[in-house]
Structure 1
Amino acid sequence: MVFIKPLSVYITQGTPIKIPLGCKKLNHEVEVGVIIGKPGFQITESNAMKHIGGYTVSLDMTAADMLAEARQKGLPWTIGKGFDTACPVGDFIPKDRIENIKDLGLWLKINGEMKQDGNTKDMVFDVPKLISFMSQYITLEEGDLILTGSPAGVGPVKPGDIITCGMHVPGVAEVTFKVE
């Protein structure tokens, strides 16, 4: 299953995450964001890494109740995954700063309490497979962002919560977002 997040949903540190109108359960999901650096269509898995420009720590905020209703009715996931502020992102991390994308730790804390602490080695699909699969149907352009999936520990946030997340990479800053 893949879905697209409109450009209007991306925010950077300093901008709050806003709970969408009518949402009763907003979930956090920390993910590695893969930033495409070289366009491509029908990219093979063996060439996929050549299309990466860099990475970022990302949040895939999900209006879980709205998504569940859409799933139940067989409707698109657009509102549940694509509301304004649904994709907080960190700074650009050049590709060469990540030694091994297949073994990269990432974490998330809410109000200082660890909620997610995982590793890309546990992903269902690795980065080359994700890039190759998506590019069979969609031309990937420079600057496109692919979110890779979230480790265990996905859960709800509420107004006033402070989300801090990052990667286990020396010198790579963590990012913090407030939920409103």
Structure 2
Amino acid sequence: MNIFAYMFQDRKANRKNFKGQLVLFMFRVAQLINRSMITKVIFFPYLMFYRFFVEWSLGIELPRKLTAGKGLIIYHGQALVVNQGVIIGENCVLRNSVTIGHKKLADGTFTRCPRLGNNIDVGANVCIIGDVAIGDNVIIGAGAVVIKDIPANSIAVGNPARVLEGRSVLT
């Protein structure tokens, strides 16, 4: 994939969502800069501007070290917090007030970060914390707190999140 295709890979998915397009474009540029120490030094002012504008002004924490597949969609990104160790698959949707990250254990260590598959739809005010894996084609309802793995092709709701039996994304 060439550099321009990489930088604009989320544009089509965020059609009619200028804020999402802008944030994800800036995020992809920051990811490109982060690949080399030389580019990090040369483009240090951009990295600081990215952090100030996206994190402090818009309230969206998408670290430049985050692994995210193409087609990421951000709807109403205010208060969106994603840990840099999280892995997000392709064509995922993140809404406002979503928190995705690791959990601190009693001994002071941290768990691994969550891993989201492809085609995940995360509702508003969702918390996904700890070493969890979320399969492909999953819908997570608004306000859910995910602390356990969610199988592919399912719908999860509640606090703590539970998979709705007899319900599938495919049906």
Task: Choose between structure 1 and 2: higher strand proportion.
Answer: 1
The answer, yes or no, to whether TM exceeds 0.5 is no
TM-score, scaled relative to structure 2? 0.25
The higher relative CO (CA closer than 8 Å, separation ≥ 6) is in 1
